[in-house]
Amino acid sequence: MKDFPGTPGTITALVLRVSQCLFAACSIASMATTNNFFSVTAFCYLIASMGLQIIWCSGLAFLDAYALAKKKVLHNHVLVSLFVVGDWVTATLSLAAASASAGVTMLYVADVPSCRVGQECLKYQISVSFAFLSWITIAMSSLLMFWLLAAG
Amino acid sequence: MKDFPGTPGTITALVLRVSQCLFAACSIASMATTNNFFSVTAFCYLIASMGLQIIWCSGLAFLDAYALAKKKVLHNHVLVSLFVVGDWVTATLSLAAASASAGVTMLYVADVPSCRVGQECLKYQISVSFAFLSWITIAMSSLLMFWLLAAG
């Protein structure tokens, strides 16, 4: 398999994984400190999806760090296929969760003026922004993994 | 470039493109016949996104039909790169629009019982379901195109 920045076991891959974890954690922290997130399905789904992303990305970050420390190459075909499927599933769930929460936040902030929930709205917006940042980084990882698999 | 079902100029590709257009049109029809869609940003975004998808997919469907009729091969590298970028952009926008509308629909249907809007809710649900079907078909096309490009 070809070797380019972003493939498993490189510094770029490790940086991408760590940023995915950080952005997802910030998104959860901002959403979980609101008072009423549990009454909206989309916000609960955002927390579940970001939680799944943290589990997946921290696992891969440890693997990348291990490969870097031991100078191992992780270009096994079966392993890369597993990374591709996992990355695509988490990326799709993240985008869906971020968009669903963005839809509800837009409804609260702009569409229904009687629904204003003050300080809470700012936290919803911060949480959604971090979720989108997290999605952007995992989408980059997914594309790199898929390219690596397809290019053989 | 390799030739497999779903690559430009094959029957599978044409069927996928036509179903994308049909599902997107059904989604717009169901949403546009509600009375209050214009007061919710997510629903307006769904209509805009499905409209863009119809324009893109009908263009590619005509191209596939032309290639099938004239028995031409559309495996030009520049052309496939253009298809990949266009497919990924429309697929991402479709998923985001479908999820945002699903978030708002869930809020109306399940989370806020006082917000019940009766018959309208059914139309929102139908529209969101068609948007997700449309996204599934365009995601399949996108993966096939990306694979074709990466496999060279």
pLDDT digits (tens, 9 = 90+) for A18-49: 999 999 999 999 999 988 888 889 999 999 99
Higher pLDDT among residues B19 and A108, named by residue:
B19
pLDDT of residue A117: 62
Task: Give the CB-side neighbour count of residue B149, counting CA atoms within 13 A.
Answer: 20
How far off is chain B from A3, nearest CA to CA, in Å?
14
Q: Which of B92, B93, B107 to mutate to test the interface with A (most CBs of A within 10 A)?
A: B107
Cβ neighbourhood burial of A77 (10 Å; 0-12, 13-18, 19+): exposed
- A106/B103 Cβ within 8 A: no
Residues 16-75 of A with CB under 8 A from B: 39-42
CA distance B22 to B31: 14
Cβ atoms of A86 and A145 within 8 Å: the answer is no
pLDDT, tens digit, for every residue of A139-150?
999 988 888 887
pLDDT band at residue A57 under the 50/70/90 scheme: very high
Q: Judge whether B30 and B47 are in contact, CB under 8 Å.
A: no
Report pTM.
0.89
Residue B10 has what DSSP assignment? S
**DSSP letters for A31-85:** HHTSSSGGGSHHHHHHHHHHHHHHHHHHHHHHHHHHHHHHT-----HHHHHHHHH
CA-angle at B120, arms to B119 and B126, nearest 5°: 100
Over 60: is that where the pLDDT of B114 sits?
Answer: no
ipTM at complex level: 0.86
Tell me whether A151 touches chain B (CB under 8 Å).
Answer: yes
Are B90 and B52 in contact, with CB atoms under 8 Å apart? Answer: yes
SS3 assignment, position B5: coil
CB contact under 8 A, A96 and B99: yes
Residue of A nearest to B102 (CA): A100
Cβ–Cβ of A39/B152 closer than 8 Å?
A: no
In whole angstroms, give the CA distance from residue B143 to residue B137. Answer: 10
Q: Find chain A residues with C-beta within 8 A of B111's C-beta.
A: 39-41
CB pair distance less than 8 Å for A107 and B151: no
Q: Mind listing the pLDDT tens digit for each residue in B27-68?
A: 999 999 988 888 889 999 999 999 999 999 999 999 989 988
Model pLDDT, residue B16: 93
Q: Is A138 on the interface with B (CB under 8 A)?
A: no
**B109: which DSSP letter?**
I
| A70-118 tens-digit pLDDT | 887 777 788 888 999 999 999 999 999 999 999 999 888 887 765 566 6
What is the rounded distance in angstroms from the CA atom of residue A130 to the CA atom of residue A32? Answer: 13
B101/A101 touch (CB, cutoff 8 Å), yes or no? no
Residue A150 CA neighbour count, 13 Å, CB half: 20
For chain A, first and last CA: distance in Å? 5
Question: Taking Cα atoms as reference points, which of B138, B59, B62, B146 lies closest to residue B97?
Answer: B138
Mean of all residue pLDDT scores within chain B: 88
Read off the pLDDT band of B117 (50, 70, 90). low
Query: Count of CB atoms within 10 A of residue A116's CB?
Result: 10
Contacts of B151 in chain A (CB under 8 A): 150-152
Indicate if the alpha-carbon torsion angle B71, B74, B75, B76 is positive or negative.
positive
Q: Do B100 and A106 touch (CB under 8 A)?
A: yes
Alpha helices per DSSP H over B7-118: 11-32, 41-70, 77-106
Chain A contacts of B146, Cβ < 8 Å? Answer: 146, 150
B100–A contact, CB cutoff 8 A: yes
Contact A111 B41 (CB under 8 A): yes
Question: Which of B39, B95, B106 is facing A96, going by the closest CB pair?
Answer: B95
